Amino acid sequence: MADFTRDDMINFNNATHCHVCEKQFAPDDTRVRDHCHLIGRYRSFAHSNCNLNYRNSYCISIVFHNLSEYDAHFIIKDIAIVYKGRIDILPIIKEKYISFTKHVDTANKK
């Protein structure tokens, strides 16, 4: 945790609530410094179990109303090119789709 400061340490020692479950710490609870395991950035303090079970959501649902009546191949083509990952398509015909799902490996482009 590169960005854990002296103020963070003071706040950690005085913490009363877990930032994940938002429940109060009991005297016998094990408090930990929660941080992102991908980039190492400190988030806040948490129960040990909350920290171990914490997961970032990498799924963003986007709904297009009436997609089957729109030439969605323009949207799908751009999404397929801009971000790495596979695309699952449920087509009606070659250029009309009921749904599509983009599986993105990272938040970075190409």
**Mind listing the pLDDT tens digit for each residue in 25-37?**
888 888 888 877 6
Question: CA 76, CA 109: separation in Å to the nearest integer?
Answer: 15
Q: Where are the domains of the chain?
A: 6-53, 57-110
- Confidence band of 13 (pLDDT split at 50, 70, 90): confident
**Mind listing the pLDDT tens digit for each residue in 40-63?**
778 888 888 888 887 766 666 666
Question: CA 97, CA 30: separation in Å to the nearest integer?
Answer: 51
Distance from first CA to last CA of the chain, Å, rounded?
28
